[in-house]
Structure 1
Amino acid sequence: MTSVNSLVDIAVFGIVGAIMMAALVGLLLVASGRAGGVSPGVQRGFAAAALALLVAVPTLAAINVLASGAGFWRAFAVAACVAAIAAAVNIGLSPLVARRQGSAGTVLRPSLPVFAIGLVLCLALGLVTAGLAALFA
C-alpha cells in the first residue's frame, strides 16, 4: 500500500511543482514583455526562485513520505521524481522566454546528453532534498 501512496505523492507534489514553475515562467514572460526587457538582476532573482522551488517542493514531498513511515530510499525516489517533473516544466517552457527575449539561439536543444545531465541533476537533487527531509522529519 505504501507504493500507491508514493505514486500519489509524486502526482500531487509533481503537479504542484509544475504549476508553480509554470507560474514562475509566466511571471518572467510578463516581465520580459515590458519595453526595457529583463535586467540581469531580475533574471538572477527568477533563477534563485526557480532553484528554491526545485528544492522546496521535493523536500516537502520527501517529508511527507518519511512521515508516513517509509524509508529514506523511498523518500529519495519520490523527491527525485518530483524534481524531474518540475525541472521538465522549466526546461519545456524556457524556449518561450528565450524567444520573447530574442535569444533563441542559446536555448538547450533536447538531445541525449541534455537528458542525461538533467537526469543526473534530478537524482542529485533528490538525494539532497531527501537528506534535508530526513533532518526535518
Structure 2
Amino acid sequence: MTSVNSLVNIAVFGIVGAIMMAALIGLLLVLSGSARGVTPPVRVAFGVASVVLLVALPSLAAANTLAGGGSFWTAFAVASCVVAVVYAVNVVLLPVIARRQAAATGGDVPAGLSPSLPVLALGLVFCVVLGLVGAGVAALVA
C-alpha cells in the first residue's frame, strides 16, 4: 500500500509544484514585459520563492510518505520525483521564456532552445540532490 501512497504523493505534490512554478514564471514574464522591467530585488524575490518551492514541496511529500509508513529511501524517491516533475515544467517552459525575452528586448530567438543531454543529466543530479535534502528535512522534522 505504501507504493500507491507514494504515487499519490508524487502526483499531488508534483502537480502542485508544477503549477506554482509555472505561475512564478508567468508572473516574472508579465513583470518583464512591463514598462519598468524587472528590478534586481524582484529577481531576488523570485529566486528565493523558487528555492523555497523546490525545498518545501519535496520535503512535504517526503514527510507525508514517512507518516504513511514508508522508509527513508521511499521518501527520498518520492521527493526526487516531485523535484523531477517541477524540473520538467521548467524545461518545457524554456522556449516560451526565451521567445518572450527576445520579444521584450528586441533580440533574436536562440536557435537551439532544447536543452542538451549534459544539461538534462545535470538536472537529474539536481533532482537527486534536492530529493535527498527534502527527505533529510522530512526525517529530521518527523
TM-score normalised by the chain length of structure 2: 0.88
Aligned to 1:123: 128
Task: Return the offset for 1:34.
Answer: 0.2
Q: Does 122-131 or 29-38 show the bigger shift? A: 29-38
Q: How many equivalent pairs are there?
A: 137
Aligned to 1:78: 78
For residues 67-109 of structure 1, the C-alpha deviation after alignment (integer angstroms, 9 at most, x for no partner) is 011100000000000011112212322332333232754x864
Pairwise CA RMSD of aligned residues?
A: 1.9
Contiguous gaps of at least 5 residues in structure 1: none
Aligned to 1:30: 30
Counterpart of 2:42 in structure 1: which amino acid? V
Task: Return the offset for 1:35.
Answer: 1.4
Q: Does the CA contact (< 8 Å) of 1:54 and 1:87 recur in 2? A: no
Q: Does the CA contact (< 8 Å) of 1:37 and 1:101 recur in 2? A: no
Matches within 5 A, 1:102-113: 102=102, 104-105=109-110, 109-113=114-118
Q: Give me the whole-angstrom Cα distance separating, in 1, the residues matched to 2:61 and 2:69.
A: 13
Counterpart of 1:112 in structure 2: which amino acid? L
Q: Does the CA contact (< 8 Å) of 1:28 and 1:97 recur in 2? A: no
Question: 1:44 and 2:44 equivalent?
Answer: yes
Contiguous gaps of at least 5 residues in structure 2: none
Identity %: 65
Task: Return the offset for 1:129.
Answer: 0.7
Counterpart of 1:99 in structure 2: which amino acid? R
Counterpart of 1:136 in structure 2: which amino acid? V
Which portions of structure 1, spanning 4 or more consecutive aligned residues, are displaced by more than 6 angstroms?
none
Aligned to 1:7: 7
| 1:43/1:97 CA distance change after superposition, 3 Å | farther
Counterpart of 1:81 in structure 2: which amino acid? C
Q: Give me the whole-angstrom Cα distance separating, in 2, the residues matched to 1:98 and 1:43.
A: 16
Aligned to 2:101: 101
| 1:108/1:44 CA distance change after superposition, 3 Å | farther
TM-score normalised by the chain length of structure 1: 0.91
Aligned to 1:55: 55
